[in-house]
Amino acid sequence: MNSRPIMDAGPGLNFFSVNKERLLFKVLGPLCIPTSVEEEILRKARTDRRFSAAGTVVKKLPDKYLKILPDTATDELVQVVERISGTTFHQRLDMSRDLGETMVIAHAVVAAEAGADITVLIDERGGRKIAGAEQKRLVRLKGQGQNVGNLSLVNTETVLKAAVTRKHIADKAELQDLYRRLRELDDGLVPIGDTDLLAANLWQR
């Protein structure tokens, strides 16, 4: 069983702010975001004009493209949040720092534990580390005979590589311009020269 990818706030803010939501959907298909991620995107859009377009995009997208996952305290979600955060569910909801990342990972793990193959789009290093640990845990559970799904991790570079290979990006000039615009919004993205996005084998067609 495949489920929609779940996206963290960082990539959402970046791609939506430069009006490249269609590129995301072409590569990953329809997406999900937790309520906490939706709130973070809308808050940033209100308080930082660089992200204003992201708020407009989130508000206009129908469920068939962007589904909101409620951060409701189900038994399964509570268990995962408390395990990965080391605090109670409601205490974690009251702490805004990295809340979106926690809920993205928790929703993904709940889906995977129910048997779904799920992809997580997340850039932040700490969140990727936690997601990677959960990915390994699911592999162990599967090895023990439990009927769980898989968790896959992707990031902005992964999305852009796929966009190049599927010819959604015409040439290196277009890619470099897009990456520059994304980096202007997110200093956590490394310089393009430190990625494989300009590698010759990626552009062989």
Q: pLDDT for 111-140, tens place per residue?
A: 999 999 999 999 999 999 999 999 999 999
- Convert the pLDDT of each residue in 190-200 to its tens digit: 999 999 999 99
- Band (pLDDT 50/70/90 cuts) for residue 187 is confident
Per-residue confidence at 205, pLDDT binned at 50, 70, 90?
low
What mean pLDDT is predicted for residues 90-102?
A: 93
For position 204, what pLDDT does the model report? Answer: 85
The pLDDT value recorded for residue 178 is 98
Nearest to 118 by CA among 157, 160, 84, 69: 69
For the cut 80, the answer to whether the pLDDT of residue 106 exceeds it is yes
Kindly give the residue spans of alpha helices, DSSP state H, lying in the chain.
9-17, 21-28, 35-47, 52-60, 75-85, 89-93, 99-113, 125-143, 156-165, 172-185
Which one, of 197, 200, 121, 203, lies nearest residue 161 by Cα? 197
Mind listing the pLDDT tens digit for each residue in 146-182? Answer: 999 999 999 999 999 999 999 999 999 999 999 999 9
Q: Catalogue all structural domains in the chain, each as residue range(s) with its CATH number.
A: 6-155 (3.40.50.1010)
Structure tokens at 12: 């959402």
Three-state secondary structure call for residue 69: strand
Q: 1 pLDDT band (50/70/90 cuts)?
A: low
Whether 146 contacts 180, CB under 8 Å: no
pLDDT in tens, 52-91: 999 999 999 999 999 999 999 999 999 999 999 999 999 9
Give me the pLDDT at residue 15, please. 98
